[in-house]
Structure 1
Amino acid sequence: MTAWATYEGEQKAARQKLANQQAAQQGRPYTAGIRPFGYADDHMTIMAQEAAAIVEGAQMILAGESLSAVARKWTEAKLLSPRSKAAGAQAWTLRGVKKVLTSPRYIGQSTYHGEVMGEGQWPPILDPEIHYGVVAILNNPERFSGGKRTGRTPDNLLSGIGLCGYDGCTDTVGGRGYRGVSVYGCTATHTRTPRSIADDRASKATLARLVFPDFLGQILEDQNAQDGASGAHLQSQTQELRQRLDGLALAYAEGSISLSQMTAGSAALQKKLEAIESEMVSSAGIPPLDPVKGVAGLIQGWPTLPLPTRRAWVDFCVIVTLKPANGRHMSSMSVDDHVTIEWRNVSE
């Protein structure tokens, strides 16, 4: 009787697995569990507020922001996942955010044990090129976020960009604290420049360089525009797409994604890349610039731009050098004592 009961249990489990696999192949949602974030209890109807958060989270990752930034934003908006609520959690985890943003479910694909089985019967929330771009970034083994293998995403304006002004020092500066003040300093601590002073000076110098007649105007004069998009903007898009394609290949090599995910993702990104390259005529390789709002929009919206975009423009426009105190008290130093700015030439 025990052997027969065991046999019946195994047969029932096998039939259930086969039924689940067939359902996935037919694109029907698996409705036995807790509803997924972004969809209602039927696993088909889109929850507008949660879907908007997913789209915003994906755009944040593409803009260079971290998983922790997305987790904070979703938590502050009180948009916890149904599974987290059931478990009594109070905030999103990085693992939870990554699982949402890399799930093929949100581009309308049905999966079974991680393998894409076909098109789902539910409406997608993300566009394929956005989804696969996020997958490439988050699963790239070269992505760093805090340890030996992960590194740390810069959380301030000048880390890795500002130069130490001490004679003979070739280091760039990083963020740290000194006596309760947030400062920049090289690894040898030759300088302790307050971040507020350095960031304000670098931002103003960057914006001044942008509006000076001999700089961006001359660069953009050589750009051919089609359908309202500048050549520089298109070039930036192609570079991002190529990086995402490389990221997908590396993620597959590391075993972070399946072959079907890499194949589908590469096809979607390659199609987008070909479309952009067909439009692109020339490019100067400038950082992202809204082709409609232009420089005026960049300047007006500077305080609210994503940090990676501001960092790219600072590095593109100016050379920032932070000078040592040389025995002087911080309070007695002027802005020019702290920071030296050099404008980059058009030829550079």
Structure 2
Amino acid sequence: MQRDAIIYVRISRDRIGAGLGVERQRIDCENLAERLGWNVVAIYDDNDLSAYSGKPRPGYRRMLEDLKASVATGVLAWHTDRLHRSPTELEEYIQVVERHGVDTQTVKAGQLDLSTPAGRMNARNLGNFARYEVEHMAERQQAKKVQKAAAGQWLGGRRPFGFEPDGVTVRPTEAAELNARGDDILAGMSMHAIARDWNARGVTTATGGQWTPNAVRRVFLRPRNAGLMEHRGEIVGPAEWPAVIEETKWRAIVALINDPSRRTTPGPRRRWLGSGLYECGICVEAGAEKTTVVAATAGLSTGGERKTVPSYRCADSRTHVARNPEHLDRYVTMLAVEWLSRPGAVEAFERRGDDGQGQARVLEREALRIRDNEAAEMFAEGKMTKAQLIAANEKTAARRAELDRADAAAARVTALAPFRKGDPQAVWDGLDLERRRAVISEIMRVIILPSHKGRPRGWTPDYGKEWGYFDPDGVRIEWRSPA
């Protein structure tokens, strides 16, 4: 009997690439149609999409709609499991073919007879067996992943940044970027600034894309950077690949990134040194939770003309303080460079001394991991109650947090590191805005005080040419002490 037929092809994972997996199915189905004498009126495919995943299959849904509209009375598939791996989908398909007299033929399994109780039972059994196969395969794959994770072997997937496609061999150029930018994070650089830097220099993600702040954050939080194996969100031991960032340094980076009090740039590139960094004196005196100032534009009338000029203003109230950002930034810069030029000033802020305790913390973490595993085994054997297991895990988690804080304190690279050698002014001039902000944040606290309008005391025309009406007495500098 000649029929108008629809070919449906699907493959869960296109390992061949370029759609060749479904293409081969299509050719086999067309050959079957020719043998049956059927006329193919449509071909629908779902490439790289599992029937078991529960995700919508656009090609399959279009096929069903055509069958309901009597566009065709025959379906050709490579195998029954290409059509269904879900009992729910199969029942819907049975209803459609029964109502519209659709014949289903497959290349590998022959006719799928849904017109009789025995045929429908056979189809359901095939569907249940296919579902069992998928679940069993998933179980085997998961067991294999657990086994590989325990051995520190790569579980596969997309190429990680810093490594070659095998996931094990280090890619030197990207590893160097991770190390250098890791130092920048420890020195106060934000995720936004690193993303801008990498994008500007053409350093792409592992897939060749542009960096976002969240992508930068994720790549630095990966335990694999320190040569550690992670499975289901937990570090399970050393990995088979080498570390691209020394473990103590990596843990310090993680501690700083996850620190809720850490200042980070929340948005677009900053233009002024003190925006979000300097503080409003009125808010500070009032003990306000939010005290920072932001750079904004304000209207100014001069000679009958109105123009906008930048101004530092309190982020909470525009009436508290207002200051010319160009003059204030220049003044703060002068003070900072003068301080950095003092003998021993930079060295006093160094925090590198750890007396070899970093390696001791690494060993203690491994001991804590073993202790957690032993507690889990004791719970599984009935030798420990659930409450005891929770208490033991909480105790080791608290100790890990202490070790993280110790790593952050010991391995932190001060933002002042570039000033250890060379002329302070030349070093400052060579820094970008983010690094300059990190320096200011580390050595001083800048508080803008309310000021009187008009010329400051001692004002002269020569002073005005360079500084306008800027009054140094309207700024309070509090120098920070080394931690």
User: What is the TM-score with the length of structure 1 in the denominator?
Assistant: 0.66
1:179-218 superposed matches below 5 A: 179-186=307-314, 187-189=317-319, 192-209=322-339, 211=341, 216=342
Q: Are residues 1:158 and 2:274 paired?
A: yes
Q: Deviations over 1:287-312 (max 9, x none)?
A: 86449836x64343123341333313
Q: Are residues 1:339 and 2:455 paired?
A: no
1:1-348 superposed matches below 5 A: 1=125, 2-31=127-156, 33-83=157-207, 85=208, 89=209, 91-143=210-262, 156-159=272-275, 160-161=277-278, 173-178=293-298, 179-186=307-314, 187-189=317-319, 192-209=322-339, 211=341, 216=342, 220=344, 230-234=347-351, 266-267=402-403, 270=406, 289-290=416-417, 293=420, 297-305=423-431, 306-312=435-441, 315=444, 323=451, 325-326=453-454, 335=467, 337-340=469-472
- Residues 230, 210 of structure 1: CA spacing in aligned structure 2 closer, same or farther, 3 A cutoff? closer
Alignment RMSD (CA, Å): 4.5
- Residues 272, 94 of structure 1: CA spacing in aligned structure 2 closer, same or farther, 3 A cutoff? closer
8 Å contact from structure 2 (residues 256, 408) kept in 1? no
- Equivalent residue letter for 2:334: K
- Residues 270, 142 of structure 1: CA spacing in aligned structure 2 closer, same or farther, 3 A cutoff? closer
The whole-number CA distance in structure 2 between the counterparts of 1:50 and 1:6 is: 43
8 Å contact from structure 2 (residues 280, 320) kept in 1? no
8 Å contact from structure 1 (residues 290, 298) kept in 2? no
- Equivalent residue letter for 1:13: A
- Equivalent residue letter for 1:303: D
Larger strand proportion, structure 1 or 2?
A: 2
The whole-number CA distance in structure 2 between the counterparts of 1:54 and 1:44 is: 16
8 Å contact from structure 2 (residues 454, 469) kept in 1? no
8 Å contact from structure 2 (residues 179, 245) kept in 1? yes
The whole-number CA distance in structure 1 between the counterparts of 2:135 and 2:263 is: 44
- Equivalent residue letter for 2:153: R
Q: Deviations over 1:7-36 (max 9, x none)?
A: 2221111010010111111011123x2211
SS class of match (1:82)? coil
Shift of 1:193: 3.0
SS class of match (2:237)? strand
The whole-number CA distance in structure 2 between the counterparts of 1:198 and 1:157 is: 9
Shift of 1:48: 1.7
The whole-number CA distance in structure 1 between the counterparts of 2:324 and 2:476 is: 21
The whole-number CA distance in structure 2 between the counterparts of 1:120 and 1:261 is: 22
SS class of match (1:97)? helix
User: What is the TM-score with the length of structure 2 in the denominator?
Assistant: 0.49
- Equivalent residue letter for 1:315: M
Count of aligned residue pairs for this structure pair: 291
Percent of aligned positions that are identical: 22
Point out where structure 1 has 5 or more consecutive residues left out of the alignment: 222-228, 242-257, 277-286
- Residues 208, 291 of structure 1: CA spacing in aligned structure 2 closer, same or farther, 3 A cutoff? closer
- Residues 34, 58 of structure 1: CA spacing in aligned structure 2 closer, same or farther, 3 A cutoff? same
The whole-number CA distance in structure 2 between the counterparts of 1:274 and 1:333 is: 47
- Residues 210, 16 of structure 1: CA spacing in aligned structure 2 closer, same or farther, 3 A cutoff? closer
- Equivalent residue letter for 1:9: V
SS class of match (1:41)? coil
8 Å contact from structure 2 (residues 255, 408) kept in 1? no
SS class of match (1:233)? coil
- Residues 5, 78 of structure 1: CA spacing in aligned structure 2 closer, same or farther, 3 A cutoff? same
Q: Deviations over 1:279-335 (max 9, x none)?
A: xxxxxxxx86449836x643431233413333136626x87657465599xxx7751
Query: Which residue of structure 2 lines up, in the alignment, with residue 280 of structure 1?
Result: none
The whole-number CA distance in structure 2 between the counterparts of 1:326 and 1:164 is: 19
- Equivalent residue letter for 2:338: A
Shift of 1:54: 1.6
- Residues 319, 12 of structure 1: CA spacing in aligned structure 2 closer, same or farther, 3 A cutoff? closer
8 Å contact from structure 1 (residues 163, 321) kept in 2? yes
Identify the structure with bigger relative contact order (alpha carbons < 8 Å, sequence gap 6+).
1
Shift of 1:265: 7.1
Structure with bigger gyration radius = 2
